Structure 1
């Protein structure tokens, strides 16, 4: 007599294993996902109440904390770099463009050359960005260029460049008081670590390490962020890597470069007829 099989959670566990297994990314889905995700991120970020008075109070508090720690040199960096016109104009355009161009470029590189690691690396980036929204909501913060007293130079306004979505004609399109954490640092460090871990050419790995360092210099020199905003971006990225580690069991660079070929299903064992 055939013994009925007990229904267990095996099917659910199998589904979870399939979701966690690296899959070959589909171009149309990735383009749609990135577009919708960035639109949603921008919508939520800009929908957070600006809370100008609280953001200015928080900026004063951050500035006092940095003075207490002996790291409040943003103003000196801002004024020194602003005195070199070609350099600060270049940094304004760096701030406006590379944040998006390099991040998309790394995603394309992963999609093309590391498809087995793409989904996990993308999860790190998405989780990093998602948790940043919590920071924007809980801790509105004015960037240094908007602090009371006018001690910082808004380099975009002074040099008439479009280096910031929160300056000039674009200021009404973006929440000006969402400076903590800095996603310029979160994204650039994600790019840099990804390139350093996966690139095979030494000079490319070096560029990967230099990119977040250059970005840190730019966000401070243009008076768009404090040092502590950058620390917030690092913590968000650490959260993103933790999410990916918990989901996939390993960090993205430890996954196979190529998606493993699907294994054919094992044949069902032959059933012995009942006597």
Structure 2
């Protein structure tokens, strides 16, 4: 269907941007909930290590690849170890913040969708962190894995889970590193049109290699994170591309056209060429 793009429609995308203060308060609220979860996880060391042995044995029973093989490939180069440790320490949270900030300013409709998905994913993960405390493989001597962050640096964790006031080291299941990284890729693929946008999938793939090779997560942690994200995406549907109306820089603003007898009436036969609105769900 063909229709004229009016001033109200041109302003549709900016008007979808939620108040910045409210969004910042939501982020602070999520952080406080995480801190509460960290406090509730105290005193469950025995349970966390018991679950860790169960996960390790389950992975071997179903013949998942050994995390030792992945770490062995990493340990051939001290430089690579430092790069991977730095990636683990510095990319996870900043990349997600930049992703949300860019969507907020450039794709507000997709920002709201992405924020909802990330909130659902993080909320479900926090519930699992409390229900299933899990020591990461770097803490299990029987696995033969080493804590690359502690041995080579840099490390983001305290010397022991009890002394770490910022993070819950028994929150290995699921891996929010992998879940958030995959959502960043999915969100950017959905919100952009470049032929190169599929390269964003390299971010979650790199993150998966990083969290496994540094012995911070098991394969199963990543699998559960991907499954939770899949459920969230199934219930929180991506916005239709047709819901975003982008005006060409060459298109004149009809609100700036003065009223004149020379301007054709919309119902006359002299209506200028119309601009098609393309929407996967029909015209709006």
TM-score when normalising by structure 2: 0.74
1:38 aligns with 2:25: no
195 and 59 in structure 1: CA distance in 2 versus 1, 3 angstrom threshold: same
Question: Contact conserved, 2:35 with 2:166, CA < 8 A, in 1?
Answer: no
How far does residue 65 in structure 1 lie from its aligned partner after superposition? 1.2
How far does residue 212 in structure 1 lie from its aligned partner after superposition? 0.4
Output the CA distance in 1 between the equivalents of 2:222 and 2:129: 14
Could you tell me which residue of structure 2 aligns to residue 73 of structure 1?
66
Question: Contact conserved, 1:117 with 1:252, CA < 8 A, in 2?
Answer: yes
Could you tell me which residue of structure 2 aligns to residue 269 of structure 1?
none
1:211 aligns with 2:203: yes
Could you tell me which residue of structure 2 aligns to residue 146 of structure 1?
139
Question: Contact conserved, 2:74 with 2:213, CA < 8 A, in 1?
Answer: yes
1:136 aligns with 2:129: yes
Q: Pairwise CA RMSD of aligned residues?
A: 2.3
Output the CA distance in 2 between the equivalents of 1:201 and 1:97: 27
Query: Structure 2: 5+ residue runs without aligned partners?
Result: 1-14, 247-284
Match of 2:110 among 110, 117, 126: 117
Question: Contact conserved, 1:46 with 1:174, CA < 8 A, in 2?
Answer: no
Output the CA distance in 1 between the equivalents of 2:23 and 2:95: 17
Output the CA distance in 1 between the equivalents of 2:26 and 2:46: 36
1:92 aligns with 2:79: no
231-240 vs 187-196, which moves further:
231-240
Match of 1:225 among 214, 217, 222: 217
TM-score when normalising by structure 1: 0.76
Question: Contact conserved, 1:198 with 1:253, CA < 8 A, in 2?
Answer: no
How far does residue 209 in structure 1 lie from its aligned partner after superposition? 1.0
Output the CA distance in 1 between the equivalents of 2:106 and 2:137: 40
Q: C-alpha offsets along residues 149-179 of structure 1, whole Å, 9 cap, x if unaligned? A: 36111001111312x3355797343221110
Could you tell me which residue of structure 2 aligns to residue 271 of structure 1?
none
Could you tell me which residue of structure 2 aligns to residue 262 of structure 1?
none
Output the CA distance in 1 between the equivalents of 2:141 and 2:50: 9
Q: C-alpha offsets along residues 164-215 of structure 1, whole Å, 9 cap, x if unaligned? A: 3355797343221110011001100100111122222233x13311110000
Output the CA distance in 2 between the equivalents of 1:166 and 1:257: 46
The 3-state SS of whatever aligns with 1:210 is: helix
Residues matched between the structures, number: 231
The 3-state SS of whatever aligns with 1:173 is: coil
70-79 vs 176-185, which moves further:
70-79
How far does residue 110 in structure 1 lie from its aligned partner after superposition? 0.9
Output the CA distance in 2 between the equivalents of 1:87 and 1:62: 28
Output the CA distance in 2 between the equivalents of 1:229 and 1:103: 19
How far does residue 55 in structure 1 lie from its aligned partner after superposition? 1.3
